[in-house]
A and B are shown apart, each in its own frame.
Chain A
Amino acid sequence: MRPVHIAGFAQLPHGLVDNRHDEGGMVRAVTAAALQEAGLGRDDVGFTCSGSSDYIMGRPFSFVMALDGIGAWPPIRESHVEMDGAWALYEAWVRLQHGDVDVALVYCFGKSSLGDVEAIYALQNDPYTIAPLGLDPMTAAALQARQLIARGLLTEREIAETVVNARRNGQSNAEVPAIETRSVEQLLAQPLVRDPLRAHDAARFTDGAAAIVLTVGGGGPRIAGIDHRIDSMNLGVRDLTLCNSARIAAERAGAHNIDAAELYVPYASQEKLLCAAMGLDPGVQINPSGGTLVAETPMVAGLVRIGEAARLIRSGAKRTLAHATAGPCLQQNLVCVLEEAP
């Protein structure tokens, strides 16, 4: 494998509502900043890959206008995934293995404020059987949490502790909207909305965009391993107390000796399960940025985890892990392990 480094990372400050930027404006801001951090210009880029969702943006072909933001002229080698930007980074990483291209630009954007993200995700279910029932992702997560609690693998207090930690960590993250710290007792006093889950257990949706510049060689945090896997969407055939896809992806990405991890946690009840599935030791620092419970920009939050994990390397960590997910109950998972450049 050719050594691929994260040479630049930028994100728009995630806002609860972004009324200023359209797709092109968002993308311009983050790609210019990421290239600047990498010390590269857009002419240096040999492959570009983006991630976004038409349903999130409320219109078909939403990625087309985003191309304005990168100035695709002269024409560029380019591809797009209808997935989180973390998967766009995966495609770029694959493309860099070919040998003819040494710099790749990855970007993604999403605006949760335009529509009802939970209602959109509910439509991801099997359209013939489950979707007509209106199963929303939080209800699916609650079914999973219930099983975890019943098996003694999770307590309601642990769910609350996850939220407490995320909010505490989020205080020092200038890129996310302010969020109030809470004690476990305060959280547990809140009403249940999808028993055993409370409103604050869900990730907080935001608007934003992010970009990463990948280079072959050079400095910066290096991708030690990256892999992604999917489970069945059929909740009935899965053991929801396990997360096989995250386990396999972590094994293949080399999730060992990890100092800190940035995990895409849609619901607080899923963090402990993810750590167990990926074999993360109790000493691993989880979501120093505050993570998705503080700011989840759809289609962006996964790439931001990789960017944040890279920042941790830059500030002294030896080996970090980033995770992205999609689908109900952590159906699809991507794991990217980063390490110091040798």
Chain B
Amino acid sequence: MKPVTEFRSPTKLTYTVSAGTVATEFLSAILQRRIVGRRCPVCTKVYVPPRPACPTCAALCEEPVELPETGTVTTFSVVRIPFPGQLLEPPYACAHVLLDGADVPLLHIVGGVDVNQVRMGLRVTAVWYEEPQPTLASIRYFTPNGEPDADYASFREHV
């Protein structure tokens, strides 16, 4: 008797996800090509994307903070392999981008530049798609803006 080692059993589940009030504020701003975080009333740190509650203080974050679209690459990796669900052709650089005035970095892509030029401390600016959608992917990537590199000491706490 031939052993049965495999059969297909496809599963499909459908979910309807709601963003919640805090993410709605953030994503509505993205539609206008604005980046809006929120500040914790206790530790005064600015979170982007905004959080309903501060991860360290558990305080309600209610104050919106408008952020510029410039920032610093605090650390990065060059993705050189394909994987399921990938949006870009490798190689490309994904990086922690600390927006000026924010206290946590965004994980995003650094583009418009040779991947070998990407480095810690690189100063970058957001490049948007023509028609923003309610997603952080409306920022196509961050690209070098020609400013001198930031000192390691200035972002050491924010990698």
Contact = CB atoms under 8 A, between A and B. Distances in A.
B11 interface: yes
A10 to B, nearest CB: 14
Interface in B1-47: 9, 11, 13-23
A29 to B, nearest CB: 9
Nearest to B52: A25
B86 interface: no
Contacts of B53: 24-25, 27-28, 68-69, 71
Nearest to A131: B9
B20 A20 contact: yes
Contacts of B9: 127, 131-132
Contact of A28 (B14, B19, B60): B60
A229 to B, nearest CB: 29
A25 B59 CA distance: 10
A101 interface: no
A115 B22 contact: no
For chain B, the bracket of interface size reads: 20 to 34
A114 B18 CA distance: 8
B52 A114 contact: no
Nearest to A73: B56
Given A28-B58, A71-B58, A116 B22 contact: no
Nearest to B60: A28
A20 B52 CA distance: 10
Contact of A22 (B11, B16, B52, B57): B52
Interface in B43-72: 51-60
A191 interface: no
Contact of A114 (B16, B51, B57, B58): B16
Contact of B58 (A42, A55, A120): A42
A297 to B, nearest CB: 16
A115 B20 CA distance: 16
A114 B17 contact: yes
Interface string A17-33: 11111101101100110
B52 A24 contact: yes
Contacts of B52: 21-22, 24-25, 28, 68-69
B76 to A, nearest CB: 23
A123 interface: yes
Interface in A114-129: 114-116, 119-120, 123, 127
Contacts of B54: 68, 71
B14 to A, nearest CB: 7
A219 interface: no
A32 B58 contact: yes
Interface of B: 9, 11, 13-23, 51-60
23 contacts: A19-B18, A19-B20, A20-B20, A21-B20, A21-B21, A21-B52, A24-B51, A24-B53, A24-B55, A25-B20, A28-B52, A28-B53, A31-B58, A32-B58, A58-B13, A68-B51, A68-B55, A71-B59, A114-B15, A115-B14, A115-B15, A119-B13, A127-B9
Going nearest first, the 9 A-B pairs with the smallest beta carbon separation are A71-B58, A73-B56, A25-B52, A58-B15, A28-B53, A22-B20, A19-B18, A115-B15, A68-B55
